[in-house]
Amino acid sequence: MTEVSVAKEDVAATGDLVVLKSVNKHFGALHVLQDIDLTIARGEVVVVIGPSGSGKSTLCRAINRLETIDSGTIVLDGKPLPDEGKELARLRADVGMVFQSFNLFAHKTVLENVMLGQVKVRKTEKKKAEEKARKLLDRVGVANQADKYPAQLSGGQQQRVAIARALAMEPKVMLFDEPTSALDPEMINEVLEVMQQLARDGMTMIVVTHEMGFARSAANRVVFMADGRIVEEAVPDQFFSNPRSDRAKDFLSKIL
């Protein structure tokens, strides 16, 4: 039996949406992802925390192949991620990504930003794409900003547009890489609330964040990374009240 069909059966049996097995990645001499095994079930919200430089962003970027990996496998909804080609583009479209910097197209309106991927990648008809974009902008609370350009919006509004844009692709999983780190403090909650609602609606989410309140209330599981490894995984209550590893204890003592 080939490795591919084994992976498919695994997923079908468990409902796992994202499965990383023995994933390794180097940047030169730096072993930035070390034997990462991580399984994310459909509808699960996993918060990834850890010190700066521990490999959290690289992990996210590997999951949608913005970074290649050196060894191991990443399986997305039963399909192993290939290194390149049309199949990669298809699978990548199933992964919504929201970064620290909002990455909106500056020369497009808010509405156009949310329509673009639908029309170009999903080949949705313009009228339908616009309808959906307006619905999503309403859902994230910026419907009245549709005709503005990103620079005319606050950081919190821009990040909510970025979330709407990602959702417009109907992703199977959403990756958030420190989505509130670049925001002024008074805008953090409006973005976290949208994410909370998304979690309640059943979206599968991987969230890198330093917002421990969000981790406590929204996460099904906390994954703690240090030095390129997953050091500890636990439900939030257990992780925050009773971390097992010294690395996690040390990290929590600094941020809480």
Contacting residues toward ligand ADP, per CB under 6 A = 27, 30, 32, 50, 52-58
How, if at all, do strands 229-234 and 95-98 pair? unpaired
Q: Of ligand ADP, Mg ion, none, which one sits near residue 155, judging by CB under 5 to 8 A according to partner kind?
A: none
Looking at the Cβ atoms of 30 and 106, the one nearer to ligand ADP is: 30
Q: What's the burial of 2, exposed, middle or buried (CB within 10 Å: 0-12/13-18/19+)?
A: exposed
Q: Is residue 113 close enough to count as binding Mg ion by CB under 5 A?
A: no
Closest approach of Cβ 100 to Mg ion, in Å? 7
Name the segment binding Mg ion (CB under 5 A); options: 7-15, 51-59, 156-164, 218-226. 51-59
How, if at all, do strands 45-49 and 221-226 pair? parallel
Q: Is residue 159 close enough to count as binding Mg ion by CB under 5 A?
A: no
Backbone φ, ψ for residue 241 (5° rounding): -90, -25
Q: Of ligand ADP, Mg ion, none, which one sits near residue 54, judging by CB under 5 to 8 A according to partner kind?
A: ligand ADP
For the chain, how long is the longest CA-to-CA vector? 56
Q: What's the burial of 54, exposed, middle or buried (CB within 10 Å: 0-12/13-18/19+)?
A: buried
Looking at the Cβ atoms of 38 and 153, the one nearer to ligand ADP is: 38
Task: Tell me which of 54, 57, 118, 204 binds Mg ion, using CB under 5 A.
Answer: 57
